[in-house]
Structure 1
Amino acid sequence: MKFENIIVEKEDKISVITINRPTSLNALNAKTIRELSEAFESLDKDEEVRVVIITGSGEKSFVAGADIKEFTDFGQKEAEELARNGHTSLFNKIENLSKPVIAAVNGFALGGGLELAMACHIRYASENAKLGLPEVTLGLIPGYGGTQRLPKLVGKGLANEMIFSAKMIPATRAKEIGLVNEVYPVEELLTKTKELATTIANNSPMAIAKAISAVNLSDTERGFDTEIQYFGEVFELDDKKEGVAAFLEKRKPNF
């Protein structure tokens, strides 16, 4: 896959997507969103890849937000279409991918950048990371899932505080409130993220795909019934047979 604004690398069951627009702090423009959508769709079908990491180029910024220049003249119809297309083509696609997606947040994750990180299943951050949703300072609100995913991660009160105040928070505070899982020095971030990805990649991809879907329904009426259904379904899969056999034979499973 060849792209202009992102770099896609694969190694040992792990793919790393790097958003590569350093002159604009890796801001999300329409082309970058399209390229990310294509990359995730391709990687989801790639049987050699079990975990995807997404990060930004350099050490200053993961994604500093959406590229505002692209929609300054939009009206209501165009704005709604922009948000809806973003949800469908990228943000929801990441959240519902059959493979775990880990955000390695290296620096600024603002606006659409934080929304991108929140669509991922797990978030690691560098010590210099700053996270926030500054949209109200522009007379806007988050449009790529910020008002929906942030309350689920940190609670309604803290989400309201972040959205209404538009304040950036440091990585240490983000970990305290559950917005990121771990915080590491800048130079260790990608290494630590890859370590987690390797651990995950050694587990059953079939079971993980079911778990992703079940967790995504955890705040709906279908959550428990879905878990029960998937719990039954995995009993018919090859990974369950291999996992149980390996346990009984006291060896590592070969998924």
Structure 2
Amino acid sequence: MPTSRANGSLYTKIDGKIATVEFGHPASNSFVAELLDRLTAEFNTLSDNSAISVVVLKSEGDRAFCAGASFDELMAVSNLEEGKVFFSGFANVINAMRSCKKVIVGRVQGKTVGGGVGLASACDYVFASEDASIRLSELTIGIAPLVIEPAVERKIGTAAISELSLSPSEWKNAYWAQEKGLYSKVFDSMKALDKELEFFVEKLSAYNAEALEEWKKVLWKDTAHWDTLLIDRAAITGRLVLSEFTRNALSKFKK
């Protein structure tokens, strides 16, 4: 059963060398600050767990993978510091995924928006369903995908992120996302996806954990500066969310 908790839910199940992290929120698996903080802490904990070598990241239910930032919490931001703190939540999760010593495999079962696209981009390998369309809708509410841009651009390139972000009301389908490099594999049924995902992570977890850790460092080379870059971007986004444009846009969406 999907969670009904206003602060969302986070569960981790460890089976052999594989940890499965599942997050959820009643509003289409969107992120409130508390859930972002818990997810960051979980990745940091799993990074230091020598018993595991692979992490699977998934969300609750069979519909949206992640609707990005919580609208209620965006509406509640009332000053620059609150804005910076809220968007730093996404910065911290992406940095925790980037620096996690374990390979992270994403399971994207449905539509994903904004910060959810950033989350998928921070995975090392992604299994997606045909329903896993993506959208960067930030410009429609007066902000921009500044915090997640480094992660998304690293996966799909500048041209594709330009196309995606400058048409913020347009969905790109899962095959577009696969062609651009965000998704590794796309399946026409969740049954087929889960079967292949299980086979893949079992195989991956049997490899030398030290080799996987060293290889992940190479895959994420030249990203150490993200520790400060993403927080700086969070501060800019925090300023934008206080704009009159954004206040009006959020009010309209809320209605």
Distance 1:10 1:30 in 2: 25
- 1:59 matched to 2:62: yes
Any idea what SS the aligned residue of 1:168 has?
Answer: coil
CA distance, structure 2, for counterparts of residue 18 and residue 164 of structure 1 = 31
The 8 Å contact of residues 62 and 113 in structure 1, kept in 2 or not, is answered as: yes
- Which stretches in structure 2 are left out of the alignment for 5+ residues? 1-6, 225-255
Conserved 8 A contact 2:133-2:171? yes
Equivalent in the alignment of 1:87? 91
Structure 1 unmatched ranges of 5 or more: 221-255
Cα separation, 1, equivalents of 2:166 and 2:124: 25
Secondary structure class of the residue paired with 1:27: coil
- Partner of residue 78, structure 1: 82
Q: Percent identity, aligned pairs only?
A: 22
Aligned to 2:247: none
Alpha carbons 2:127, 2:197 under 8 Å: kept = yes
Matched, 1:149 2:151: yes
Judge conservation of contact 2:28–2:67 (CA < 8 Å) in 1.
yes
Give the match for residue 112 of structure 1: 115
Change (3 A) 1:214 1:206: same
Amino acid across the alignment from 1:189: L
CA distance, structure 2, for counterparts of residue 85 and residue 182 of structure 1: 28
Shift, 1:73, TM fit: 4.1
Give the match for residue 235 of structure 2. none
Three-state SS of the structure 2 residue aligned to 1:54 is strand
For 1:130-176, what per-residue CA distance to the aligned partner results, in whole angstroms no more than 9, with x for missing partners? 1121111111111432x222222222111101011112211111112
Shift of 1:82: 2.5
Matched with 2:132 is 129
Q: Could you say if the C-alpha distance between residues 112 and 203 of structure 1 is closer, same or farther in structure 2, counting changes exceeding 3 Å?
A: same
Contact 2:90 2:115 in 1 (8 A): no
The answer to whether the aligner puts 1:186 opposite 2:174 as a matched pair is: no
After superposition, give the CA deviation of every residue in 1:75-123 in whole Å (9 maximum; x if it has no partner): 33332333234313x1111011100001100101111111111111111
| 1:12 pairs with 2:16 | yes
Runs of 4 or more, structure 1, over 4 Å off, are: none
Tell me how far apart the structure 2 counterparts of residues 95 and 219 of structure 1 sit (CA, whole Å).
8
Question: CA RMSD for the aligned pairs?
Answer: 1.9
Distance 1:178 1:38, change over 3 A: same
Counterpart of 2:164 (choices 157, 162, 165) is 162
Separation (CA, whole Å) in 2 of partners of 1:193 and 1:176: 19
Larger radius of gyration: 1
Give SS of 1:98's match: coil
Q: Distance in 2 between matches of 1:37 and 1:56?
A: 15
TM-score normalised to structure 1 length = 0.78
Higher relative contact order (CA 8 A, sep 6+): 2
Question: Matched residue pairs, number?
Answer: 215
Which deviates the most, 78-87 or 159-168? 78-87
Counterpart residue number, 1:48:
51
